[in-house]
Structure 1
Amino acid sequence: MLTELMEPWDLNLRHLAAFLETCRKGSVNAAASSVSLSQPAVTQAIARLESQLKLALFDRQTNGMRPTEPARQFHSRVERALNFVGSSRVTSAQAKAFVALARGGSYAEASALTGLAPASLHRSISDLELALGRDLVERRGRGIELTKRGRETARQFRLARAELNAGLDELSIFRGENEARISVGAMPLCRAKLLPSAVVEFQKSRPSSELAIAEGSFMELIEPLRDGELDLLIGALRTPSPGPDVIQTPLFEDHPVFLGRRDHPLRHRSGAVTLEELTGYSWVLPPRGVPLREQWQRLFEQDRLKVPDIPVESGSAMIIRQLLMETNYLTVLSPDQVAIELEAGWLGIVGRPPEQLSRTIGMFTRAGWYPTEMQEEFVDTLKKHSEQSGH
């Protein structure tokens, strides 16, 4: 795969600007004046890009340069990437160094991430601050911290990298490789059934694709999504919305149940379990702020009942299962999350909450996200399988 051989920052940003202007102007001469390079320099820049990408980007004609189909495809990605970078004075080396520093949190860690000497990183960051005319890093004791403008710049550079990465994936199709990598953030519920089933079907139709799945809570995954490190995030939708920069797309409604061990005292009584009876037991639930936890708490508050004790907070189905099997603790989860435990008889349904205790499971994407063809196919597969996941 090309993206394994080439890091997006291996592409020279000035060469990309020259490519963009040649597409727009239709000639090397006109492009040269726009990007402040000589005509031979623009010619060399395009030749270098074609060599790196292993594709012809222009048909050379007597009356100018005509972009090929791969060039027209790549054009929009380059345009978006350069808009995110925001300055023609920034180099790829500077952007790479700064993103590494932002990720590592220190010059030593950035050096380990990039293989560059700390002195080279210091020089790149200093040159970047001069180029942008702003302070990006400030010292805090023996460490460093990004300024507010530094954090904003790091995000813009990460988004630029994501666009270039998507462009490289799209170009692989023109070389007959038809390969791509999709990065998905997975919150607890979707890991049980929806995501695995969608991945299996997708890889049957796209066997050369790669999917990187990052597991975590909403708070752990939302910033990587905003940074372009994740293409999409799947889990319970939030109210209110995370912000105007994030789009929430509903997939299905999930209806959780009350769960306990198979021989829990509440499973051996006649009639439906009441909320008042549930207050007499301790619970294992996700942390505050998780929609399911907040809805669960409102059930008791609306009936003016004491909210049960929660001695353990966890969003891990594995941890919850073990705690429930060895105690009289209760929890509330989707049956999909403990399907194996229910089938094996380790856990049992203690009761079913009122209809208002439900959650919308959906997809989070960045506002303005422009998916590749393969990413669109994966989203379509995800939507297809979500139709089978509601209860």
Structure 2
Amino acid sequence: MWDELNLRHLRAVAAIVRLGSISAATRAVSISQPAITQGLSKLEGQLGIALFNRQPEGMQPSEAAMLLAPRIERALHHVGSPRVTTAQMRALLALAEAGSYVSASVATGLSQPTLHRALADLSIALRRKLVERRGKGIGFTDSGQSTIRAFRLARAELAAGLAEIDLLKGREVGRIAIGAMPLPRARLLPAALVAFHALYPDFRVVIAEGSFAELIEPLRDGDLDLMLGALRLPPPGDDVQQLPLFLDRPVIIGRKDHPLANRQPSLAELASFPWIVSPQGTPLHGQWRAMFDAARIPLPKVPIECGSVLAIRQMLIASDFLTMLSADQVALELSVNWLVRIADAPAGLTRNIGMTTRTGWRPTPLQAAFLDQVRIASSKME
């Protein structure tokens, strides 16, 4: 519904809340008082809730306006220009997500000439080129890419504001988009989801699986609200923040009849077998390497780097490979004795598992309720 709202009307709402009257807002946003009044009436009709109480001393914002205004301010900050329209935002995001004018037309129901015109007007409004021809297709300039990210973040703020309005109206709906790295998918995330769904059955949760490298840019773009998984050192940048939840100590895993099973093998014996390890650059890979480096033992052979627990499991069962994982990631395989714990990782070899969000991200009340369930589930993980 965000794309049905008028940015000029939203800008007026934020200005009235900030300044206290329509007349002051008129000067701030350069919209006539009749136009603001008419726009407010339309916006309240779209939202199904009153935003202001009209009083002789001025416009008294309702609870809905007080919730919505900060979201509008943040969205407008991302948009960056008062000349941008919702239709232009929608056109650019549709083209970015569909990859072509033909596909964007199908996705939005807008004609290709309408999309072309909206994007041409947007380039003029922003005074920069956004889209360019590349062979038979299209691509985005650096300015286009940065504008796409800004519009996605603006969209996320408006969607969150609308969800808060729905909650105010008694509708416990909305969504949270989670990027899930391998370890949380085993126990933490399922436990949190089951508990949360029991409390808020109509709230929508969208899960994207992947590695840190695959998920961090969608988080920065606003397509994901948070990531769950191993935290990074050093932190990935000032635009994201990390919150530790619990420490995980990985273990060495192999098949049930592995030559080193039911023993207490030395690191030198572990190094004599081939390994499957997580890709270079991941915390687990770094810990695996540190385990042998600290003992001054040459690294074992690593014919396969893999981040898929499902694939690793099948390869372990059928070979003498070893791997290092959290026991939670192969709990079922350990319980039925398909795989066994060959050895514990050396003391002090731990990973910080936690949440990564955009810096300054403000969850809606129901998103915050989900985070509470994540914290409760994580308290049972150590």
Q: Calculate the TM-score normalised by the size of structure 2.
A: 0.96
C-alpha distance in 2, partners of 1:237/1:177? 35
Find the partner of 1:82 among 76, 86, 95. Answer: 76
2:327 aligns with 335
CA deviation after TM superposition for structure 1 residue 380, in Å: 1.8
What is the aligned partner in structure 1 of residue 229 from structure 2? 235
Moved more, 196-205 or 331-340: 196-205
Please give the alpha-carbon distance, in whole angstroms, between the structure 2 residues aligned to 1:143 and 1:184. 32
Q: Deviations over 1:145-187 (max 9, x none)?
A: 2222211111111111000011011001221112221111110
**Is 1:249 matched up with 2:257?**
no
**Structure 2 match to 1:210:** 204
In the alignment, which of 45, 51, 65 is matched to residue 59 of structure 2? 65
Between 186-195 and 200-209, report the one with greater CA deviation: 200-209
Aligned length: 382
Q: 1:284 aligns with which of 276, 279, 287?
A: 276
Task: Please state how far the C-alpha of 1:248 moved relative to its aligned partner.
Answer: 0.7
Aligned to 1:50: 44
The CA deviation at 1:239 is 1.1
- Residues 281-311 of structure 1 deviation map (CA, whole Å, 9 limit, x = unaligned): 1112221111101210222233332322222
State the distance in 1 between where 2:167 and 2:370 align: 16
| Cα separation, 1, equivalents of 2:98 and 2:59 | 43
- Secondary structure at 2:331 match in 1: helix
The worse-fitting range, judged by mean Cα deviation, of 375-384 and 30-39 is 30-39
Per-residue deviation at 1:21? 2.0
Aligned to 1:120: 114
The correspondence of residues 122-201 of structure 1 with structure 2, limited to 5 A, is 122-201=116-195
Cα distance between partner residues in 1 of 2:348 and 2:108: 50
Q: Give CA deviations for 1:7-47 in whole Å, capped at 9, x if unaligned.
A: x1211101111222222333333323332222221111101
Mapped to 2, the partners of 1:311 and 1:121 lie a distance apart of 49
Tell me the percent identity: 52
Give the partner amino acid of 1:194: L
Report the counterpart of residue 316 of structure 1 in structure 2.
308
In the aligned structure 2, how far is the partner of 1:314 from the partner of 1:119? Answer: 46
1:12 counterpart = 2:6: yes
- Residues 145-154 or 57-66, more deviating: 57-66
Question: Secondary structure of 2:133's match?
Answer: strand
CA displacement at 1:81 relative to structure 2: 0.7
SS in 1 for 2:13: helix
Q: How many Å separate the matches in 2 of 1:340 and 1:324?
A: 14
Q: Structure 2, unaligned stretches of length 5 or more?
A: none
Structure 1 CA distance, aligned partners of 2:177 and 2:348? 33
Gaps of 5+ in 1: 1-5
Cα distance in 2 for residues equivalent to 1:286 and 1:214: 19
Secondary structure at the aligned position of 1:348 is classed as strand
In the alignment, structure 1 residue 225 sits paired with structure 2 residue 258: no
Corresponding residue of 1:354 = 346
Query: 1:249 aligns to what SS in structure 2?
Result: strand
Q: Are 1:29 and 2:37 an aligned pair?
A: no
Counting only pairs closer than 5 Å after superposition, residues 255-266 of structure 1 correspond to structure 2 as: 255-266=249-260
Residue identity matched to 2:4: D
SS of 1:267's equivalent?
A: coil
Aligned residue type for 2:360 = G
Separation of aligned partners in 2, 1:30 and 1:294: 58
Alignment partner of 2:227: what SS? strand
Deviation at 1:59, TM superposition (A): 1.1
1:312 deviates by: 2.1
* The 10-residue stretch of structure 1 (365-374 or 300-309) with the greater mean CA deviation from structure 2: 300-309
User: Greater CA deviation, 144-153 or 299-308?
Assistant: 299-308
Q: How does 1:298-309 map to 2 (within 5 A)?
A: 298-309=290-301
AA at the equivalent of 1:94: Q
Return 372-381 or 327-336, whichever deviates more.
Answer: 372-381
Q: Distance in 1 between matches of 2:102 and 2:323?
A: 44
Q: CA offsets, 1:334-353, max 9 Å, x none?
A: 11001111001110011111
CA RMSD after TM alignment: 1.4
In the alignment, does 2:108 pair up with 1:105? no
Q: Counterparts of 1:258 and 1:21 in 2: how far apart (Å)?
A: 59
Superposition deviation, residue 205 in structure 1: 2.0
Amino acid corresponding to residue 123 of structure 2 in structure 1? E
Distance 1:27 1:293 in 2: 59
Q: Which segment is superposed worse, 313-322 or 239-248?
A: 313-322
| Match among 268, 273, 287 for residue 265 of structure 2 | 273
In the alignment, which of 376, 381, 384 is matched to residue 368 of structure 2?
A: 376
